[in-house]
């Protein structure tokens, strides 16, 4: 009888611990992912205003700040592109990897800014070579540069009793780009984001930032794949190309990502 009571006590203790940590509960836990609100995308070397969309990247800042002021999220994540000087995505670095261009890629003399180059990594000693398709961007968001910093007008909230905040750097492998906050572009190396969200029992992810058709899109795609109920706050994002923005959003909607406006966020959170 004493053994039975001990077993019951252990089970009760386990249930209480799960209730305290949220493990095993159906409670919705929300995260706001703030993607790449950095100087270089706003008024620097890769400013959206100079891209086909001619978007003003700074317009996302007051909307994101208002969301942070008015709405409680259990987790807030700030991401930053964080490239090395010799990064594969920089058009200026193309000569460094000219010998790696695939036979079916444009040649180094043909490739221009914003073209897609195709590189092949690996020699005859490996079983499978890595084929990398890479858009050639202007040099941007170089580690420790002003352009890589989060914009000064963006609200940076802190961890407190009811909210966890962390910062995520991505794209620091010189040979592989990383649009998504979850994976590099070849899906070889996973970032710490998914594990951190799982540790906090996050169920619902809201995504804002830059650029809608590049890093926001890739992050949302992987959020859906990882099982999160995923929302893109459309008016809190800006992108590179209007046509691509519409295509990417349509693709995400087909994958059960929900596209909303900032005025809808509070209601969505109240309903989950």
DSSP-derived letter for residue 53 is T
Looking at 81, 141, 170, 184, which residue is catalytic? 170
CA atoms within 13 A on the CB side of 165: 13
3-state secondary structure of 268: helix
Going by CATH, does the domain composed of 26-84+140-271 fall within 3.40.50.850? yes
36 among known catalytic residues: yes
Q: Is the backbone peptide bond immediately before 211 cis, with ω within 30 degrees of 0?
A: yes
The pLDDT, as a whole number, for residue 230 is 99
DSSP-assigned letter for residue 164: E
Q: What band does 90 get if pLDDT is binned at 50, 70 and 90?
A: very high
Mean of pLDDT values over 114-138: 88
Question: Would you call 184 a catalytic residue per the annotation?
Answer: no
Is the pLDDT assigned to residue 25 strictly greater than 60?
no
Active site residue: 36, 40, 74, 177, which one?
36
Q: Is 51 a catalytic residue?
A: no
State the CB neighbour count (10 A cutoff) for residue 157: 15
**How much is the mean pLDDT over the chain?**
92
The phi and psi torsions of 206 (rounded to 5 degrees) equal -115, 130
Summarize the confidence of residues 220-228 as an average pLDDT.
99
Phi, psi of 90 (to 5 degrees): -85, 125
The one catalytic residue among 51, 141, 215, 237? 215
Domain layout of the chain by residue ranges:
26-84+140-271, 91-136
- Whether the Cβ atoms of residue 209 and residue 235 lie closer than 8 Å to each other: no
Q: Which of 21-25, 51-55, 262-266 has the lowest mean pLDDT?
A: 21-25
């Amino acid at each position: 009888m004493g053994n039975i009571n001990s077993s019951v006590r252990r089970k009760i203790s386990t249930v209480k611990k799960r209730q305290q940590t949220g493990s095993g509960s159906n409670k919705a836990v929300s995260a706001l992912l703030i993607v790449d609100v950095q100087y270089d995308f706003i008024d620097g070397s890769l400013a959206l205003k100079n891209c086909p969309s001619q978007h003003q990247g700074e317009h996302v800042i007051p909307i994101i700040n208002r969301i942070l002021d008015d709405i409680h999220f259990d987790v807030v994540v700030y991401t930053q592109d964080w490239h090395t000087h010799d990064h594969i995505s920089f058009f200026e670095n193309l000569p460094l990897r000219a010998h790696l261009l695939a036979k079916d890629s444009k040649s180094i003399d043909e490739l221009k800014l914003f073209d897609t180059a195709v590189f092949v990594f690996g020699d005859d000693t490996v079983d499978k070579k890595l084929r990398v398709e890479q858009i050639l961007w202007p040099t941007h968001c170089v580690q420790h540069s002003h352009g890589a910093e989060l914009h000064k007008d963006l609200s940076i909230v802190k961890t407190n009793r009811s909210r966890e905040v962390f910062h995520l750097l991505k794209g620091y492998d010189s040979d592989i780009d990383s649009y998504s906050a979850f994976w590099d572009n070849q899906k070889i190396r996973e970032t710490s984001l998914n594990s951190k969200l799982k540790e906090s029992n996050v169920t619902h992810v809201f995504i804002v930032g830059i650029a809608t058709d590049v890093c926001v899109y890739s992050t949302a795609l992987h959020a859906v794949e990882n099982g999160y109920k995923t929302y893109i706050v459309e008016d809190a994002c800006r992108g590179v190309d209007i046509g691509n923005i519409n295509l990417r959003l349509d693709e995400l909607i087909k994958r059960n990502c929900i596209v909303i406006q900032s005025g809808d966020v509070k209601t969505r959170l109240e309903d989950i």
